[in-house]
Amino acid sequence: MQTFTHGAVMWNVECPRQRSRVTGVTMAGFDIRDLDVLQIVPHPAVTLLVEFGEGSSVIDCAPGRQERGSVAAGPGLGSGGAIRARGEDIKCVQVRLSPVLARAVLGTPPAELDGAVVPLGDLWGREASRIREQLADATSWQDRFALTDALLARRHEAGPTVDPEVAWAWQRIVVSRGLARVDALAAEVGWSRKRLWSRFRSQLGLPPKRAVKLVRFDHAAHRLIAGEGAARVAADAGYADQSHLHRDVMAFTGTTPSTMAGEPFLAVDDMAWPLHRTAAEPVYRAGPPAR
- pLDDT at residue 277 tops 60: no
Compare 260 and 44 and report the one with higher pLDDT. Answer: 44
Compare 11 and 152 and report the one with higher pLDDT. Answer: 152
In a domain, 216, yes or no: yes
What is d(CA 245, CA 289) in angstroms, rounded to the nearest whole number?
A: 33
**Domain-ending residue, one of 130, 158, 186:** 158
What is d(CA 142, CA 145) in angstroms, rounded to the nearest whole number?
A: 5
Write the CATH number for 188: 1.10.10.60
| Count: domains in the chain | 2
Instruction: State the distance between the two ends of the chain, measured CA to CA, in whole angstroms.
Output: 48
Q: What percent of the chain has pLDDT over 70?
A: 92
In this structure, the answer to whether residues 147 and 24 fall within a common structural domain is yes
In this structure, the answer to whether residues 115 and 189 fall within a common structural domain is no
Q: 216 is in which domain, residue-wise?
A: 164-272
Residue 232: count other Cβ atoms within 10 Å of its Cβ: 12
User: Residue 24's Cα: distance from chain center in Å?
Assistant: 11
Write the CATH number for 47: 2.60.120.10
In this structure, the answer to whether residues 11 and 99 fall within a common structural domain is yes
Lowest mean pLDDT among 3-7, 95-99, 275-279: 275-279
Q: Each residue of 101-157: pLDDT tens digit?
A: 999 999 888 878 876 889 999 999 999 999 999 999 999 999 999 999 999 999 999
In a domain, 241, yes or no: yes
In this structure, the answer to whether residues 110 and 236 fall within a common structural domain is no
What is d(CA 291, CA 288) in angstroms, rounded to the nearest whole number?
A: 8
In this structure, the answer to whether residues 9 and 134 fall within a common structural domain is yes
Q: Each residue of 60-79: pLDDT tens digit?
A: 886 668 888 899 998 888 88
In this structure, the answer to whether residues 245 and 113 fall within a common structural domain is no
| Predicted pLDDT of residue 282 | 58
In this structure, the answer to whether residues 198 and 247 fall within a common structural domain is yes
What is d(CA 95, CA 22) in angstroms, rounded to the nearest whole number?
A: 12
